Chains A and B, each alone.
Chain A
């Protein structure tokens, strides 16, 4: 986090809740609350990549959707460019913010309308935000974007089902980039792809980032992919941030027991090392987010848990420089 860089996004104490209606309940009974994201705070600077990792159901995708306001947030603040709160923005300013904030989705084919040509799909953000653009200009820009993501521009009149998964993801990236946004949220963009195609898409994203200078929020559950692309990494557990760190630090010196377990589970492509590696196995299952444990949410599975953990929720404190951990017994 260098000081001279301009801050793009600052999220403060963001919580997202879902109403869970019990089966057969009367319409007037109060629904149970499921806290999918619980008091998450982070900051994002220009041209920076924030990796978000965590196991299934820890709130990664919910966090992404709350930032772009596809889901309503219960509490918190999302400050855009240091001046405007996304959560309270009216329709017009939200529209303006959204032209600078785009998203790439997990399932490449499902994120493209099967009845539209890829030319129309890529042009949609442009025609939505700048309806006065002439047809020739739109076409020129679409062609430029298609070539930038590594497809042939003579394919504009084809339909999504005529492309492979990796190509569809490139089309999704082209759609996200056509407005030259300042922030792109990638919601597990490579988890549905083949490993070789994953590498291509990741490298494409990194090249485009270098060229266009946008920030990325990169959600994934593959730790090695996240390490490759991120400048900073945030680890989520049950909707809570347990550790934030500069990318390399997290792998070399993880502070939180949960992160330590995660890192120890990453396979190493060397059989000799892999054989002697000590894997920290976590006991039990992820607790239900409808009824999270008191104090530290991780204590039910933590090898270091003590009395204090059940009473007091640990704050996110500095562990080493640019490295924050939420644990009473970090290290």
Chain B
């Protein structure tokens, strides 16, 4: 039998050395699993490209998103088609404005709505839910019943009323979505905190004399963070869809600014005039981004909670 003496020697050295062994944390394990998930990795790359495109894409366009090309406007179905020569890479919209620049503008707004909405959800929802769950008892009851009442209010109706009362603006959408996005998150985090609270390591920390705030930040939050990340990722497409729906209804962002929903709305209106590109470009961006977010969220869930497959 052939024995590699060098390898045996190496092993012996490693076992006898007193150098500290670096352990592999659950986060490292999860990252490893995530990197091996093909669908999630492709989605992550796609999403990165879309984000980079929305930031730098306008540099290569000769047209601004609100400039009107009067020539193209006179005959949109023939002069406004997507072409490299005219500088309208995605064609023009019904008013002769460059669709490429408008899609970039719409991407920026829609991604912003998604990110801000889920950022508010993560911060407010996590703190609210963890506090309610950890304190428990009557405080928990009052806090969660408040959430129930807020949830019972028809969200879309309130948002539309806000728009009508205070005028259409993108800030109104941010406020409206921010006000309501954290409700689900706080419920999920409260449930997780309740199940963690009775774990023995929390009890051990209490018995040791660790202060409640430290217990929440050191023992509870790191253990619910996985769920927070997954849920936040899955929340972003929901936010984008809500904004798009409101914009599709004709409320939401103010002209000449635009968003995916508004662009899809305009494209759908002119579908009989033979200008199909006006619908297809914003729609494909919308679908690709949403699918990417869903796949990333799914990959994160599999990576962070391998038992739950």
Q: Write the residues of chain A forming the contact surface with B, with a CB cutoff of 8 angstroms.
A: 65, 68, 70, 94-95, 98-99, 101-103, 105-107, 110-117, 124-125, 128-129, 153-159, 161-162, 172, 175
Output the nearest chain A residue to B208 by Cβ-Cβ distance: A125
Q: Within 8 Å of chain A (Cβ to Cβ): is B250?
A: no
Q: Within 8 Å of chain A (Cβ to Cβ): is B164?
A: no
Give A129 to B211 CA distance when docked, in angstroms: 11
Give A117 to B218 CA distance when docked, in angstroms: 12
**Contact status B200-A156, CB under 8 Å:** no
Give A110 to B214 CA distance when docked, in angstroms: 19
How many interface residues does chain B have, given as a range?
A: 20 to 34
**Contact status B200-A106, CB under 8 Å:** yes
List 5 additional A-B contacts (Cβ < 8 Å) besides A102-B208, A155-B20, A157-B22: A103-B207, A115-B223, A124-B205, A158-B23, A162-B24
Question: Which of B19, B21, B222 is the one whose CB lies under 8 Å from A158?
Answer: B21
Question: Which of A154, A159, A162 is the one whose CB lies under 8 Å from B18?
Answer: A154
Interface of chain B: mostly helix, strand, loop or mixed = helix
Give A71 to B209 CA distance when docked, in angstroms: 14
Output the nearest chain B residue to A155 by Cβ-Cβ distance: B21
**Contact status B208-A98, CB under 8 Å:** yes
Give A124 to B211 CA distance when docked, in angstroms: 12
Given the interface contacts A124-B208, A159-B23, does A110 sit within 8 Å of B18 by beta carbon? no
Which residues of the other chain, B, contact A115 by a CB distance below 8 angstroms? 25-27, 222-223
Q: Which of B18, B206, B208, B214 has the most chain A CB within a 10 Å cutoff?
A: B208
Give A175 to B210 CA distance when docked, in angstroms: 14
Question: Which of B20, B26, B201 is the one whose CB lies under 8 Å from A112?
Answer: B201
Which residues of the other chain, A, contact B7 by a CB distance below 8 angstroms? none
**Contact status B26-A124, CB under 8 Å:** no
A-B contact pairs, 13 of them (CB 8 A): A70-B207, A102-B208, A103-B204, A105-B204, A113-B218, A115-B222, A116-B218, A124-B205, A154-B17, A158-B23, A161-B26, A162-B24, A175-B204
When each residue 26-45 of chain B gets 1 if its CB lies under 8 Å from chain A and 0 otherwise, what string results?
11000000000000000000
Chain B proximity of A99: nearest CB distance (Å): 7
Q: Within 8 Å of chain A (Cβ to Cβ): is B168?
A: no
Give A271 to B17 CA distance when docked, in angstroms: 49
Q: Which of B23, B204, B222, B223 has the most chain A CB within a 10 Å cutoff?
A: B204
Output the nearest chain B residue to A158 by Cβ-Cβ distance: B23
Output the nearest chain B residue to A68 by Cβ-Cβ distance: B207
Q: Within 8 Å of chain A (Cβ to Cβ): is B199?
A: yes
Which residues of the other chain, B, contact A158 by a CB distance below 8 angstroms? 21, 23
Chain B proximity of A209: nearest CB distance (Å): 19
Which residues of the other chain, A, contact B208 by a CB distance below 8 angstroms? 98, 102, 124-125, 128-129
Given the interface contacts A102-B208, A124-B210, A128-B209, does A111 sit within 8 Å of B20 by beta carbon? no
**Contact status A157-B20, CB under 8 Å:** yes
Which residues of the other chain, B, contact A105 by a CB distance below 8 angstroms? 200, 203-204
Give A129 to B209 CA distance when docked, in angstroms: 8
Q: Which of B21, B200, B201, B222 has the most chain A CB within a 10 Å cutoff?
A: B201
Within residues 188 to 246 of chain B, which ones have a CB less than 8 A from any CB in chain A? 199-201, 203-210, 214, 218-219, 222-223
Question: Which of A68, A101, A107, A154 is the one whose CB lies under 8 Å from B21?
Answer: A154
**Contact status B207-A110, CB under 8 Å:** no
Chain B proximity of A78: nearest CB distance (Å): 14
Question: Which of A111, A153, A154, A157 is the one whose CB lies under 8 Å from B204?
Answer: A111
Which residues of the other chain, A, contact B223 by a CB distance below 8 angstroms? 113-115
Which residues of the other chain, B, contact A101 by a CB distance below 8 angstroms? 207
Give A68 to B208 CA distance when docked, in angstroms: 10
Output the nearest chain B residue to A126 by Cβ-Cβ distance: B208
**Contact status B20-A156, CB under 8 Å:** yes
Which residues of the other chain, B, contact A159 by a CB distance below 8 angstroms? 23-26
Given the interface contacts A115-B26, A159-B26, A161-B26, does A99 sit within 8 Å of B209 by beta carbon? yes
Which residues of the other chain, A, contact B203 by a CB distance below 8 angstroms? 65, 70, 103, 105, 111
Which residues of the other chain, B, contact A68 by a CB distance below 8 angstroms? 207
Give A111 to B204 CA distance when docked, in angstroms: 7
Question: Which of A107, A117, A125, A129 is the one whose CB lies under 8 Å from B23?
Answer: A117
Given the interface contacts A110-B200, A113-B201, does A157 sit within 8 Å of B21 by beta carbon? yes
Which residues of the other chain, B, contact A65 by a CB distance below 8 angstroms? 203
Give A129 to B210 CA distance when docked, in angstroms: 9
Output the nearest chain B residue to A105 by Cβ-Cβ distance: B200
Give A102 to B25 CA distance when docked, in angstroms: 27
**Contact status A111-B201, CB under 8 Å:** yes
Chain B proximity of A30: nearest CB distance (Å): 16
Which residues of the other chain, A, contact B21 by a CB distance below 8 angstroms? 154-155, 157-158
Give A1 to B18 CA distance when docked, in angstroms: 45
